[in-house]
Structure 1
Amino acid sequence: MSELNFVTIGDGTVIAYRFDGDVGKPVLVLSNSIATTLRMWDGQIDELSKHFRVLRYDFRGHGGSSTPAGAYSLARLGRDVIEMLDALGIERAHFLGLSLGGMVGQWLGVCAPERINRLILANTSSNLSPASYIDERIVATLRAPDMAENAEAFLANWFPADMVAANGPVIEEFRAMLLGIDRQGLAGLFAAVRDFDFRRIVTLVSPPTLVIAGRYDTVTALSHSEHIAASIQGAKLVVLPAVHLSNVEYPSEFIANVLDFLRQ
């Protein structure tokens, strides 16, 4: 696994990234869920890097990236990707985003389709309402002394209840990841989610698109993925018997569908 690297983008924010896979292979960008780092994809890297030059990065406010003050926007998160690609000399790439990463993927598919070869939108939504609920999460996050309460709430939403109760290595790994998230960065990304509404605009996504949904997802419900797939011309929908982090809960099935789509 390559070392963590850094690029400074136009507004001065430092974005942390890493490559896996041989130079010369097609580039595949992976974009994470909110409240995770690029380590969210660790279980998929060995297989994906056989076929692609895999580029992972941390959202502003998370992981090794810097944490600007204030609210963030999906447009800013999308431009972070474009500016990172520009700095790395990458003209076009495949893009796989899960949850918040899938929202970024929708923005790229509409606003910068010339940079995207094939697009995969996993466990995501074009809008998460009501905004008042997310406002409450922002206030609670900034007032909390640490990430302990948020961590347990995220785990309960991401995985089946019996998996969380068993507290196996995967849950411990993600709990540790959550506890290390910067609360200001999380609040900033919550604001981006709150203000994102592509329910009509998603029809303008033009790259070939695969939508992956979790049948039991309570964060970005199956109906949200069905709407996205129905709105994008030619999009394919795959439903896994997962909750929210389908790449972690059903890694073999997730990777099989990703590879089948990207190698078409």
Structure 2
Amino acid sequence: MSQAFVFRTIDLDGNTIRTAVRPGKPHLTPLLVFNGIGANLELIFPFVNALDPDLEVIAFDVPGVGGSSTPNTPYRFPGLAKLAARMLDYLDYGQVSVIGVSWGGALAQQFAHDYPERCKKLILAATAAGAVMVPGKPKVLMLMASPRRYIQPSYGAHIAPEIYGGAFRRDKTLALSFASKVRSSGKLGYYWQLFAGMGWTSIHWLHKIKQPTLVLAGDDDPLIPLINMRMIAWRIPNSQLHVLDDGHLFLITRAETVAPIIMKFLQEERQRAIMHPQQTISPSH
């Protein structure tokens, strides 16, 4: 199904960034995807394919991941948010909605905070507020601290039930399918991603995020316990929480269930405008 995507590799601030766009229709605000740690953009294709085909979707490999170049020095989330804004400029996008998954959820929070005019709506999936969070089990965190699962797919498939939970516990073929789509750029890029999150937290400014926000969580997530998503939803003023019966990677394992929830959220304002057209008309004087 990936043939629907248009791939481009662009040069930004000394980085070579691999991008993929699934073209859509202009009546829907495009959706920008921030992926999880170590995850190349192909891993979210099953989720994107479950979304309304009219929705334009922008995905990219962050520096050091997949087909993007690995920088010589580490980076932080504010720098990555700026890079994402520059990428949108380069690709000629104005305002987008944003979805962030796991590690990418932290980057999505940073982007929504730093570029509120560029981010229309925010979707946070299986993520946390950074350093101020209730951590997963120590053994699971230790497994996550190593890039081995991305460099050695068979090992990734072996530990997937323990680190991802949910459907990965019940269906062993899921882990093998997921591992087969992994495209590693090596250890350094993974360590740079870990460094980006060290000491970072959004907890003190989450209340300033004004965008309508959809918080999605799995009830069997070994990496990000559910209480973290409840805390984010509580801190962001204009937010709603939706809990799914699954683990950390519910966007992939439950794509057909999650996609309609996301589309409803993204289209809510437009539906209101159609139902109540008088609200969109300026009063005459």
Matched, 1:215 2:215: no
Where does residue 125 of structure 2 map in the other structure?
A: 122
> Is residue 163 from structure 1 mapped to residue 168 from structure 2 by the alignment?
yes
1:68 aligns with one of 66, 71, 85: 71
**1:31-70 superposed matches below 5 A:** 31-70=34-73
Aligned ranges for residues 114-153 of structure 1 at < 5 Å? 114-128=117-131, 141=147, 146-147=151-152, 152-153=158-159
1:249 and 2:259 matched:
no
- Measure how far apart 1:147 and its partner are: 4.0
**Are residues 71 and 23 of structure 1, via their aligned partners in 2, closer, same or farther at CA, if it must alter by over 3 Å?**
same
Match of 1:198 in 2: 202
1:87 match: 90
Contact 1:138 1:191 in 2 (8 A): no
Q: Say whether the 8 Å CA contact 1:152–1:175 is kept in structure 2.
A: no
Counterpart residue number, 1:98: 101
Cα–Cα, structure 1 residues 135 and 235, in superposed 2: closer, same or farther, change >3 Å? closer
Shift of 1:47: 3.6
For the Cα contact (< 8 Å) 1:74–1:192, is it kept in 2?
Answer: yes
**Does residue 227 of structure 1 match 2:227?**
no
**Counterparts of 2:81 and 2:160, CA distance in 1:** 24
- Tell me the amino acid that sits aligned with residue 238 of structure 1: H
Alpha-carbon distance in 2 for matches of 1:3, 1:234: 34
For 2:161 and 2:39, the matched residues in 1 are separated by 11
Q: Which moved more, 1:66-75 or 1:221-230?
A: 66-75
Describe the shift of the 1:154–1:76 C-alpha distance in structure 2 as closer, same or farther (beyond 3 A). farther
User: Quick check: 2:125–2:215 contact (8 Å CA) kept in 1?
Assistant: yes
- Deviation, 1:174, is 2.0
Aligned length: 258
Please list, as runs of the form range in 1=range in 2, the aligned pairs for 1:11-26 lying within 5 A after superposition. 12-22=14-24, 24=26, 25-26=28-29
Give how far 1:176 is off.
3.0
CA RMSD of superposed structures (Å): 2.7
Bigger shift: 1-10 or 217-226? 1-10
Q: Secondary structure at the match of 1:43?
A: helix
CA distance in 2, matches of 1:239, 1:185: 31
Unaligned runs of 5+ in 1: none
Deviations 1:86-108 (CA, angstroms, capped at 9, x unpaired): 11111100111111111111001
2:78 is paired with a residue whose SS is helix
TM-superposed CA distance for 1:85, in Å, is 0.4
Q: Residue by residue, what CA displacement relative to the aligned partner does 1:85-134 show, whole Å, maximum 9, x if unpaired?
A: 0111111001111111111110011111110011101100111468xx89
Bigger Cα displacement from structure 2, 86-95 vs 180-189 = 180-189
Compared CA separation, residues 138 and 256, structure 1 to 2 (3 A): closer
**What secondary structure sits across from 1:83 in the alignment?**
helix
Q: Secondary structure at the match of 1:29?
A: strand
Deviations 1:32-58 (A, max 9, x none): 111211112211223425231111111
Percent identical residues:
23
Rg larger for: 2
Specify whether residues 136 and 46 from structure 1 end up closer, same or farther in structure 2 by C-alpha distance, changes over 3 A only. closer
Residue 152 of structure 1 and its aligned partner are, at CA, apart by 4.4
Report what 2:193 is aligned to. 189
Residues 87 and 49 from structure 1, CA distance in 2 versus in 1: closer, same or farther, beyond 3 angstroms? Answer: farther
- Alpha-carbon offset, residue 252 of structure 1: 1.9
Question: 1:194-253: CA deviations, max 9, x gaps?
Answer: 232111221211211110011111211111111110001120000001110111122122
Tell me the secondary structure at the aligned position of residue 117 of structure 2: helix
For 2:124 and 2:54, locate their aligned partners in 1 and report how far apart those are by CA, in whole Å.
19
In the alignment, the residues of structure 2 paired with residue 171 and residue 138 of structure 1 have an alpha-carbon distance, to the nearest angstrom, of: 15
User: Could you list the runs of 5+ residues in structure 2 that have no partner in the other structure?
Assistant: 269-285
